[in-house]
Amino acid sequence: MSNAAAKVVMAVTGIIFALFVLVHMIGNLKIYMGPEEFNGYAHWLRAAFHPVLPYEGLLWILRIVLLACLVAHVYCGFLIRTRGRAARGSVRRKGMDASTWMARTMPVTGLILLGFLVFHLLDLTIGAAPVAPGAFQGPTLEASHAHANVIASFSRVPVALVYGLTMVALCAHLAHGLLSVVLDLGAAPGPKAVRITSAIGLAVGLVVAFGNLTIPIAVLTGLV
């Protein structure tokens, strides 16, 4: 696979991930509407379009698509980075500005997000001990206990801190990633357009990170 093709794959899968985390954040904020609303939303995700789709059919479609995107995104990122390091040799750039710093740390923030994804699935999706809280309740065909599970999880200060640090990584990854999408899909914006695109990417990253961060803070302070 050429570098150009790999960058296009990363851009397309990056768009899918950005849309997912934005929609996911909006869904997470339903926790402020109360247990009934939040649990109803979580249950709907599992029962959506039934009986046309089997129970959890929509979720499994999303999971398969996202897993395929993840494999493609990680593979292409590894390919591009390996080739870049080989071409650069031992030379290392110094005196990086903020945008360059975010670009250079994309593999690091990506690994942080990947590790958190595994933790998050074990914690609030599978409910696997010892990652999940002892009070975890799995969903049934009739109901979801997502509201209680989120509160039980984020009531643990270390988990809330890990979540907060992950949101910082997500913000940085989104901020530079959205600029990379524009460039990797063939656009050639001037310096002003690059600055505007970077600002939009940073704004999206901040909105998603801040929206998600309010939840553990609200749990720890007793607001929800």
23-77 confidence digits (pLDDT tens):
999 999 999 999 999 999 999 999 999 889 999 999 999 999 999 999 999 999 8
For the chain, how are helix, strand and coil distributed in percent, rounded to 5?
A: 75, 0, 25
* Separation between Cα atoms, residue 44 and residue 169, nearest integer Å: 30
In this prediction, residue 55 carries a pLDDT of 92
- Residue 213: pLDDT band (50, 70, 90) is very high
DSSP character at residue 132 = S
Q: How many domains does the chain have?
A: 1
* Separation between Cα atoms, residue 95 and residue 104, nearest integer Å: 12
Mean pLDDT of 195-202: 86
Domain that holds residue 108: 3-220
- Looking up residue 191, the CATH number of its domain turns out to be 1.20.1300
* Separation between Cα atoms, residue 48 and residue 58, nearest integer Å: 6
- Residue 92: pLDDT band (50, 70, 90) is low
Q: Which residue has the higher pLDDT, 119 or 197?
A: 119
CB atoms within 10 A of CB 213: 19
Q: Are 74 and 114 in contact (CB under 8 A)?
A: yes
131-185 confidence digits (pLDDT tens):
999 989 999 888 999 999 999 999 999 999 999 999 999 999 998 888 888 877 7
List phi, psi (to 5°) of 55.
Answer: -55, 130
Q: Are 117 and 170 in contact (CB under 8 A)?
A: no
Task: Retrieve residue 14's tokens.
Answer: 């990056």
In this prediction, residue 184 carries a pLDDT of 76
122-133 confidence digits (pLDDT tens):
999 999 989 999
Q: Which residue has the higher pLDDT, 190 or 121?
A: 121
- 166: three-class secondary structure by DSSP: helix
Max Cα distance, the chain (Å): 60
User: Positive or negative, the Cα torsion across 56, 61, 64, 66?
Assistant: negative
In this prediction, residue 147 carries a pLDDT of 96
| Whether pLDDT at 95 is above 50 | no
In this prediction, residue 116 carries a pLDDT of 95
In this prediction, residue 195 carries a pLDDT of 83
- 181: three-class secondary structure by DSSP: helix
